[in-house]
Homo-oligomer: A and B are copies of this chain.
């Protein structure tokens, strides 16, 4: 078992949770009171992290939301990394995939410099686009398998021989694994496929987005996860934007905390 999987196991048991909060921090959606701070993105994330760190297993930063902000976005990533407690998961949602020299640069950026624990990667360019990430100790790579968006139908479910493309990607990428350091992204809507995957690969970590704003059936999802305890369920917008725009700090952190507690309890009640 790699240290990433152990880390997930420990924090999951400590916080009684498999929930991750997605910090898809969008300036245009922040409560008004936060815009008065010098660094609203960092402040917003700080308030969320501080009010939920006993409820969830970690945080996922989709870097699209940070790149858009230039220097302020870099500060946003760095500040979040400094605030997230050391025993919690720091997941980078970057969906990168590039040839060896560029992949090495991305691995350096997100694993060595920012110190994320795991990263999402796109499989299209094959092994050498993933390799530099696998060579880092105590890290994990989440390869996109079957994503939650409508576009998953375009290519991921094409038939390759008697398999779907995403199944062939799983089969082949597991050959690259070293010390159980590959996981996969499955959208919460793909419950049949999650069930099938976990029946054969209960040891591989799953990152499951699509609960919350994307409104998929949590009960069905939890049924599909009966064979595994190595998974994280991500919710972003439904938690981080649960307060009204004109809320004050207390109303904001209460709303965020409450929605995280509620979703976590729902998940736990269905385990």
| Residue positions of A touching B, CB distance < 8 A | 24, 26, 62, 64-65, 67-68, 70-71, 74, 95-103, 105-106, 108-109, 113, 122-130, 144, 147-156, 158-161, 165, 168-169, 172
Known: A124-B144, A160-B160, A160-B165. A113 touches B68 (CB 8 A): yes
A98–B123 CA distance with the chains assembled, in angstroms? 13
In the assembled complex, the CB of A156 is this many whole angstroms from the nearest CB of chain B, namely: 7
Q: How far is the CA of A106 from the CA of B105 in the complex (A)?
A: 19
A109 CA / B109 CA spacing, docked (Å): 19
Of B65, B101, B125, the residue contacting A24 (CB under 8 A) is B101
Chain B positions within 8 Å of A153 at CB level: 126
Cβ of A199 to closest chain B Cβ, rounded Å: 24
Contact across chains for B126 and A149 when beta carbons are under 8 A apart: yes
B125–A151 contact, CB under 8 A? Answer: yes
Please tell me if the beta carbons of A122 and B100 are within 8 angstroms of each other in the complex. Answer: no
Say whether, besides A113-B68, A124-B144, A144-B124, A155 and B165 are in contact (CB < 8 Å). Answer: yes
Complex Cα spacing A97 to B144, Å: 11
Are A100 and B160 in contact, CB atoms less than 8 angstroms apart? Answer: no
A128 proximity list for chain B (CB < 8 A): 149-151
> How far, in whole Å, are A98 and B168 apart by their CA atoms in the complex?
21
Q: A67-B106, A113-B68 are in contact. Are A169 and B155 (CB under 8 A)?
A: yes
Asked if residues A105 and B149 are in contact (CB atoms below 8 Å), the reply is: no
List the B side residues contacting A96 at CB < 8 Å.
64, 95
Q: In the bound complex, do residue A129 and residue B155 qualify as a contact, i.e. CB atoms below 8 Å apart?
A: no
27 chain-A/chain-B pairs, Cβ below 8 angstroms:
A62-B102, A64-B98, A64-B106, A68-B105, A68-B106, A70-B74, A71-B71, A71-B74, A95-B96, A95-B122, A99-B151, A100-B149, A122-B122, A122-B125, A125-B147, A125-B151, A125-B152, A126-B149, A126-B151, A126-B153, A127-B154, A128-B149, A128-B151, A154-B172, A155-B165, A155-B172, A158-B165
Interface pair A158/B155, CB less than 8 Å apart: no
Residues of B within 8 A of A129 (CB): 149, 151
7 interchain residue pairs of minimum CB distance: A126-B151, A126-B154, A64-B102, A64-B105, A99-B149, A128-B151, A127-B151
For A62, list chain B residues within 8 Å (CB).
Answer: 98, 102
Among B95, B109, B158, B165, which residue has its beta carbon within 8 angstroms of that of A67? B109
- Nearest residue (CB) in B for A176 is B154
